[in-house]
């Protein structure tokens, strides 16, 4: 069977999976004006349980695995997280009518990772019977934090330079004031890292990793977090589908270039990650399932931990630009196109 027909069959099959079925179902009922609401507190506990489960899986996996295996993929994850921001800085930000800070913030959100998208990929990999390292989910923070930190740092550097240039044309007095308090304009990296780690998403996942590493949580993992995972994800997918639909309007207010970026960027980032992952595959035996996960977390854009971090770190950026781009277009592209694409690629390479 040739690649295209295999890919198409697989794509249709994945559209019928509960994960994508509930996402599309959510978009459809939102489009039809459904009054269904999943309470905010339920979404929070579902996200907690999903990320704790992913963390526990990672922690138990790391405890039982060869740690040296993880070094190269983790280093690649950090590299991708930083690179994605610079790609947005030198492509999206250069397009007409696009504000530079908005573009940098969007890059940060597309570099950051969606726990739900990753969860969808893990579930689909298991449904397809594709093996992956148990610690692969623990690559999440290695890409997420560098991306958000880089975005905030790059945005602040840009804003500082702009200010200095403006000051050069301005009165001496203002320029003098600026020099009096240079520390106020210096970008502080550690508080940004700390804020990311203290957010609900990364807290839950890193707690899971730590509990998996240092305690024996197997009994609650097997009786609770693991069996409930797919069902809880189906509810979250429904919510994300409804949200994606409701935010499509936000995008109309900003430059149409965001649409182009939001469709192209997840696939581009995914291919970069796939290439780096394949290097790890041939040099250190990183599994093909792991390569898919690295590609999917590169494709995904954050819809849980990212927006509040960026809103606090780059207050001058327009949230409807980056949230609209990420949730309304980036996430459906990552889940609906990137996941089946990279799973299909891995299956083709694995079978060949």
- Residues at the interface with a second copy (CB under 8 A): 15-18, 20-22, 25, 28-29, 32-42, 44-45, 48-49, 127, 194, 197-200, 203-204, 207, 210-211, 214-217, 219-220, 223-225, 227-228, 230-232, 234-235, 238
Shortest CB 57 distance to a second copy, Å: 15
Shortest CB 256 distance to a second copy, Å: 31
Closest CA to 56 of 135, 2, 109: 135
Q: Is 6 exposed, middle or buried (0-12, 13-18, 19+ CB in 10 A)?
A: middle
Q: How far apart are CA 256 and CA 61, in angstroms?
A: 43
Closest CA to 301 of 119, 106, 122: 106
285 sits in the region (left: phi over 0; alpha: psi -120 to 50; else beta) called left
For a second copy, the closer CB: 225 or 342: 225
Q: What would you report as the CA-atom Rg of the chain, rounded to the nearest whole angstrom?
A: 21
Q: Which two tokens stand for residue 187?
A: 């970008």
Shortest CB 215 distance to a second copy, Å: 3
Shortest CB 42 distance to a second copy, Å: 5
Instruction: Check the CA dihedral 320-326-329-332 and report its sign.
Output: negative
For a second copy, the closer CB: 64 or 216: 216
Shortest CB 33 distance to a second copy, Å: 5
For a second copy, the closer CB: 34 or 256: 34
Shortest CB 315 distance to a second copy, Å: 18
Q: How far apart are CA 162 and CA 316, in angstroms?
A: 13
For a second copy, the closer CB: 170 or 198: 198
> What is residue 189's DSSP assignment?
H
For a second copy, the closer CB: 39 or 352: 39
Shortest CB 193 distance to a second copy, Å: 12
Cβ atoms 117, 331 nearer than 8 A:
yes
> What is residue 329's DSSP assignment?
I
How far is the first Cα of the chain from the last one, in angstroms, to the nearest whole number? 11
For a second copy, the closer CB: 130 or 345: 130
For a second copy, the closer CB: 9 or 349: 9
């Amino acid at each position: 069977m040739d690649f295209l027909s295999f890919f198409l069959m697989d794509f249709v099959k994945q559209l019928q999976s509960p994960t994508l079925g509930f996402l599309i179902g959510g978009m459809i009922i939102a489009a039809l004006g459904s009054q269904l609401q999943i309470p905010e507190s339920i979404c929070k506990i579902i996200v907690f349980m999903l990320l704790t489960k992913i963390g526990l899986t990672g922690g138990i996996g790391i405890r039982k695995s060869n740690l040296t295996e993880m070094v190269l993929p983790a280093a690649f994850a950090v590299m991708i997280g930083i690179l994605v921001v610079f790609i947005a800085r030198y492509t999206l930000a250069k397009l007409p009518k696009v504000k530079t800070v908005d573009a940098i913030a969007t890059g940060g959100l597309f570099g950051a990772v969606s726990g739900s998208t990753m969860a969808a990929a893990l579930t689909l990999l298991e449904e397809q019977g594709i093996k992956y390292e148990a610690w692969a989910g623990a690559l999440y923070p290695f890409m997420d934090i560098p991306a958000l930190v880089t975005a905030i740092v790059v945005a602040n550097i840009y804003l500082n330079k702009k200010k200095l240039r403006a000051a050069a044309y301005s009165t001496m007095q203002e320029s003098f004031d600026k020099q009096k308090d240079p520390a106020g304009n210096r970008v502080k990296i550690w508080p940004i890292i700390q804020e990311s780690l203290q957010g609900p998403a990364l807290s839950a996942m890193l707690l899971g990793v730590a509990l998996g590493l240092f305690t024996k949580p197997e009994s609650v993992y097997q009786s609770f977090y693991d069996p409930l995972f797919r069902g809880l994800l189906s509810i979250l997918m429904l919510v994300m589908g409804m949200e994606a639909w409701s935010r499509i309007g936000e995008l109309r207010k900003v430059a149409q270039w965001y649409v182009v970026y939001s469709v192209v960027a997840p696939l581009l980032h995914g291919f970069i990650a796939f290439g780096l992952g394949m290097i790890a595959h041939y040099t250190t035996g990183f599994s093909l399932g792991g390569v898919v996960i690295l590609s999917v977390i590169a494709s995904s854009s954050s819809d849980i931990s990212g927006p509040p971090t960026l809103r606090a770190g780059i207050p001058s950026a327009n949230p409807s630009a980056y949230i609209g781009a990420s949730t309304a277009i980036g996430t459906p592209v990552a889940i609906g196109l990137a996941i089946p694409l990279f799973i299909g690629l891995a299956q083709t390479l694995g079978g060949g």
